[in-house]
Amino acid sequence: MSAAVLLCALSQSVIACSAPVDQAAASAVNQGASAVGTGVLSLDLLAKERAGTPVVETGLEDMAEELDTVRKEFLDNVPATTDERALHREVDAALERAQGALSLARQTLASKDTSAGPDNPPSLANARAALAASAKELETLRQRLGTGR
């Protein structure tokens, strides 16, 4: 097992070290778009009553974890030039908005479960809209940057 972990760490560090900022940005945007897209699809399925809460909840949790990792890894890249710094800021902001949208969706779902705060329930529609906006933003970025592969 340790050999596998070592190899994984090795290959990952090779990527992290060798990847220039624009490639890292493309890869982070690609993964972020995938995570947010999953969130949109999950909420749609929940709204259409095609999937139960456990599946959607787990899916959102998985995606939130993934986004956290993606953003953390992206932040390990240090931009050198002005252009790179701008791109870095742009992508990081988009990832942060994606994180926000996902956590809003998770809160909504959780509050629906416990029916806490009936006065002002954050609605699923709001959460979906936030996720969809983030998905659109990341998709535009992805069009511009490619998948980084």
Partner 1 sequence: MKRLLGVALGILTAIGGFVDIGDLVTNAVVGSRFGLSLIWVVGVGVVGICLFANMSGRVAAVSGRATFEVIRERLGPRAGLANLGASFFINLMTVTAEIGGIALALQLVTSIHHLLWIPVGAFAVWLVIWRVRFKIMENVAGLLGLCLVVFGVALFLLQPDWGQLAGQAMAPAVPQTESAAVYWFYAIALFGAAMTPYEVFFFSSGAVEEGWKVKDLVQSRINVLAGFPLGGLLSVAIAGCAAVVLLPAGIEVTSLSQIVLPVAEAGGKLALALALIGILAATFGAALETTLSSGYTLAQFFGWSWGKFRRPVRAARFHLSMIICLVVAIGVLATGADPILITEYSVVFSAVALPLTYLPILIVANDPQYMGKHVNSRAVNLAANVYLVIILVASLAAIPLLIITGAGA
Nearer to partner 1, 58 or 123 (CB): 58
Closest CA to 17 of 78, 99, 96: 78
Is 127 within 8 Å of 43 (Cβ atoms)?
Answer: yes
Which residues of this chain interact with partner 1, rule CB under 8 A? 1, 3-5, 7-8, 10-12, 14-15, 27, 30-31, 33-34, 37-38, 40-42, 45, 48-55, 57-59, 62-63, 66, 139, 142, 146-147, 149
Calpha distance 42→109 (Å, rounded): 11
Nearer to partner 1, 50 or 72 (CB): 50
Calpha distance 102→38 (Å, rounded): 10
Read off the amino acid at residue 78: V
Quote the least distance from Cβ 69 to partner 1, whole Å.
Answer: 10
Quote the least distance from Cβ 119 to partner 1, whole Å.
Answer: 25
